[in-house]
Chains A and B, each alone.
Chain A
Amino acid sequence: MDWGKLRFFLNEVRRNFTRNVIMQLTAIGTVTVMIVLLGVFLFGREAVARIGDQVVHQIEISVFLDDKATASDAHDAIIAIRSDPRVESVDYVPKAEGLRRMRERLRNQIDTSLLTSNPLPDALHVRVIDAGTVAAVAAHVRKLPHVADVEYAHDAVERLLRLSDVVGKVGIAILALLIFTAAIIISNTIRLTVYARRREIAIMQLVGASNTYIRLPFICEGLLDGLLGALLALAILALARWQLLPKITTALPFVPADVLHIDPTLLALELLGVGAAVGILASWVSVSRQLRV
Chain B
Amino acid sequence: MISLRGVSLVYPNGTRALDDVDIEIAKGSFVFLVGHSGTGKSSLLRLLYREQKPTRGEVSVDNVRVDNMRNAKVPELRRNVGVVFQDFKLLQDKTVWENVAFALQVTGARTKDVMRQVPRVLDQVGLAHKARVFPSELSGGEQQRTAIARALVNNPKIMLCDEPTGNLDPVNANEIMDLLHRINLKGTTMVVATHNAQVVDRMRRRVIRLEHGKITADDERGFYHVTDAGETTTTVVAAFK
- Contacts from A to B (Cβ < 8 Å): 2-5, 8, 199-200, 202-211, 213-214, 293
B215 to chain A: closest CB distance in Å?
A: 26
Known contacts A8-B105, A206-B78, A3 near B111 by CB under 8 Å: yes
Q: B68-76, B223-231, B232-240: which one contacts chain A?
A: B68-76
CA distance A206 to B82 in the complex (A): 8
Q: Is B106 an interface residue (CB 8 A)?
A: yes
Q: Which residues of A contact B102 (CB under 8 A)?
A: 203-204, 207
Known contacts A4-B111, A4-B114, A206-B83, A293 near B89 by CB under 8 Å: no
Known contacts A4-B114, A5-B111, A214-B106, A209 near B75 by CB under 8 Å: yes
Q: Contact at B106–A204, with CB atoms within 8 Å? A: yes
Partner of B107, one of A4, A211, A213, A293: A213
CA distance A212 to B103 in the complex (A): 15
A-B contact pairs, 27 of them (CB 8 A): A2-B110, A2-B111, A3-B111, A4-B114, A5-B105, A5-B108, A199-B89, A200-B91, A202-B89, A204-B102, A205-B75, A205-B78, A207-B79, A207-B102, A207-B103, A207-B107, A207-B151, A208-B74, A208-B75, A208-B78, A208-B79, A208-B80, A208-B107, A209-B106, A210-B107, A213-B106, A293-B71
B177 to chain A: closest CB distance in Å?
A: 22
Q: Which of B114-172 contact A (CB under 8 A)?
A: 114, 150-151, 154
Known contacts A4-B114, A5-B110, A5-B111, A207 near B89 by CB under 8 Å: no
Q: Contact at A209–B89, with CB atoms within 8 Å? A: no
Q: Which residues of A contact B10 (CB under 8 A)?
A: none
A201 to chain B: closest CB distance in Å?
A: 10
Q: Which residues of A contact B112 (CB under 8 A)?
A: 2
Q: Is B179 an interface residue (CB 8 A)?
A: no
- Contacts from B to A (Cβ < 8 Å): 49, 71-72, 74-80, 83, 89, 91, 102-103, 105-108, 110-112, 114, 150-151, 154
CA distance A188 to B107 in the complex (A): 27
CA distance A213 to B76 in the complex (A): 13
Q: Contact at A208–B154, with CB atoms within 8 Å? A: yes
Q: Contact at B78–A213, with CB atoms within 8 Å? A: no
Q: Which residues of B contact A213 (CB under 8 A)?
A: 106-108
Q: Contact at B111–A211, with CB atoms within 8 Å? A: no
CA distance A202 to B106 in the complex (A): 12
CA distance A207 to B113 in the complex (A): 16
Across the interface, name the chain A residue whose C-beta is closest to B92.
A199
Across the interface, name the chain A residue whose C-beta is closest to B50.
A293
Q: Which residues of B contact A3 (CB under 8 A)?
A: 111
B198 to chain A: closest CB distance in Å?
A: 28
Q: Which residues of B contact A207 (CB under 8 A)?
A: 78-79, 102-103, 106-107, 150-151, 154
Q: Which residues of B contact A199 (CB under 8 A)?
A: 89, 91
Q: Contact at A211–B89, with CB atoms within 8 Å? A: no
Q: Which 7 A-B pairs have the closest CB atoms?
A: A4-B111, A208-B78, A208-B79, A209-B106, A207-B103, A208-B75, A204-B106
Q: Which residues of A contact B76 (CB under 8 A)?
A: 208
Q: Which residues of B contact A214 (CB under 8 A)?
A: 106
Q: Which residues of A contact B74 (CB under 8 A)?
A: 208, 293
B61 to chain A: closest CB distance in Å?
A: 13
Across the interface, name the chain A residue whose C-beta is closest to B102.
A203
A17 to chain B: closest CB distance in Å?
A: 16
A230 to chain B: closest CB distance in Å?
A: 30
Residue among B49, B83, B105, B114 having the largest count of chain A Cβ atoms under 10 Å: B105
Across the interface, name the chain A residue whose C-beta is closest to B90.
A203
Known: A203-B103, A207-B107, A210-B75. 13 other contacts (CB 8 A): A2-B112, A5-B110, A8-B105, A203-B102, A204-B106, A206-B89, A207-B102, A207-B103, A208-B75, A209-B75, A210-B107, A213-B106, A213-B108
Q: Which residues of B contact A203 (CB under 8 A)?
A: 89, 91, 102-103
